[in-house]
Copies of this chain bind each other. A is one copy, B any other.
Amino acid sequence: MDTKAKIAVLERAKLFGGLARDVLAASAESAQIKLIEKGSVLFQQGDEATSHYVVAWGRLRLDQTTPDGKNVVLRFMGPGDLVGSVAVWRGVPYPATPLAVEDTRLLVWSAARMMDLMQCHPPLSMKAMVMMGGRIEELQERIQQVATQQVERRIAATILKIAGQSGRKVETGVEIPFPVSRQDLAEMTGTTLHTVSRTLSAWIDDGILEGRRSSHLTICRPHRLVEIADQA
């Protein structure tokens, strides 16, 4: 991947999109490329934060393991998303583990290089703040969801969020183009595999969803799902 291709990736990244040519060029030039295979992790929760990444292709699932062994899926990440940024900026260990759910290609910067870029290009740090603010609001919304809504609504909302971020239109509806297991959904909504399975089964029976027994989920009647997600 040459600098031109790197710039193309950066333009789609939330952190870099819309920034001046010279900032992109400076950033792209100092980026390394890293490739990881489906099923392997980029780094481990608790590792020292030495690098900062931008996803070029592929998809990652961000997992957080609790001291007592339970797992929470924080989110899925795709092209343009940032990985490890917060830990690098704060100088603390990575708080979660990104696992590739597809073969994935990323741009990499060392922590020091990233800090340099930030210092030299104020628009970059402005952008970073806006982005982090967005993440804060997202997390606050999720807390509100887990704290006040019941399971069925949370599952519906979660599926819709994933579809909104990564869904593709197909003949039968909107498809999520990478595998999302019942276990994943359980760990995103704070419930159990069993409850998710039952709920999805009911929706599939109602024709709202397609995708029994793994494969890829397809939303056939998005409108119904929205109704479930924000029913009073």
Contact = CB atoms under 8 A, between A and B. Distances in A.
Contact of A132 (B96, B122, B132, B147): B132
Chain A interface bracket (under 10, 10 to 19, 20 to 34, 35 or more): 35 or more
- Consensus secondary structure, chain A interface: helix
Contacts of A122: 119, 122, 125
User: This chain: how many copies in the complex?
Assistant: 2
Contacts of A17: none
Contacts of A230: 67-68
Interface stretch (A133-141, A198-206, A216-224): A133-141
Nearest to A139: B139
A136 B132 contact: yes
B147 A90 contact: no
Contacts of A187: 147
A89 B125 CA distance: 12
Q: Which of A87, A129, A130, A232 has the most CB of B within 10 A?
A: A129
B148 A90 contact: no
Nearest to A137: B95
B86 A137 contact: yes
A129 to B, nearest CB: 5
A96 B86 CA distance: 23
B90 A133 contact: yes
Contacts of A118: 126, 129
A148 B74 contact: no
Contact of A143 (B87, B130, B132, B143): B143
Contacts of A135: 136
A21 interface: no
Interface of A: 64, 66-68, 70, 72, 74, 86-87, 89-90, 92, 95-96, 118-119, 122, 125-126, 128-130, 132-137, 139-140, 142-144, 146-148, 187, 189-190, 230, 232
* Pairs of residues from A and B, 6 with the lowest C-beta to C-beta distance, nearest first: A147-B190, A139-B139, A90-B133, A86-B133, A132-B132, A70-B148
